[in-house]
């Protein structure tokens, strides 16, 4: 596992996993639904490095899909790479 700040969005192929370091709610408002639960692993569905800004698509707690840009990942997640890529701490 690695801190997201040590990686770039290009390092997150589909099937990578990200793990939030805290609960993350819709619009960052704790009265709204929790999209990501601290410590739970979420699979990167797809990576879009040439978008501006680059982003990944991730399935949230309610089953929907959201986009996370690199800055959000760096601030709030740890990264778990697929077995073929190796894990980093």
Q: What is the per-residue pLDDT for 62?
A: 94
Instruction: Tell me if the pTM is above 0.95.
Output: no
- What burial class does residue 83 get, using C-beta atoms within 10 Å of its C-beta: 0-12 exposed, 13-18 middle, 19+ buried? exposed
pLDDT of residue 85: 55
The neighbour count for residue 23, using CB atoms within 10 Å, is 15
Hunting for tokens 């596992």 — which residue is that? 1
DSSP line for 50-83: TSSS-EEEEE-TTS-EEEEEHHHHHHHEEEE--T
Q: What is the CA radius of gyration of the chain?
A: 12
Give residue 82's pLDDT band: very low, low, confident or very high (50, 70, 90): confident
Mean pLDDT in residue range 71-77 = 89
How does pLDDT run across 18-68, given as a tens digit for each residue? Answer: 999 999 998 888 899 999 999 999 999 998 888 888 899 999 999 999 999
Q: Which domains does the chain have, with CATH numbers?
A: 2-80 (2.30.30.40)
């Amino acid at each position: 596992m690695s801190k997201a700040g040590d990686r770039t969005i290009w390092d997150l192929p589909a099937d990578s996993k990200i793990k939030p370091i805290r609960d993350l709610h819709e619009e960052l408002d704790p009265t709204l639904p929790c999209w990501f639960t601290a410590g739970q692993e979420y699979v990167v569905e797809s990576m879009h490095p040439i978008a501006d800004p680059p982003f990944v698509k991730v399935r949230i707690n309610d089953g929907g899909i959201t986009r996370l840009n690199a800055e959000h990942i760096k601030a709030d997640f740890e990264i778990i790479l697929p077995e073929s890529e190796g894990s980093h701490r």
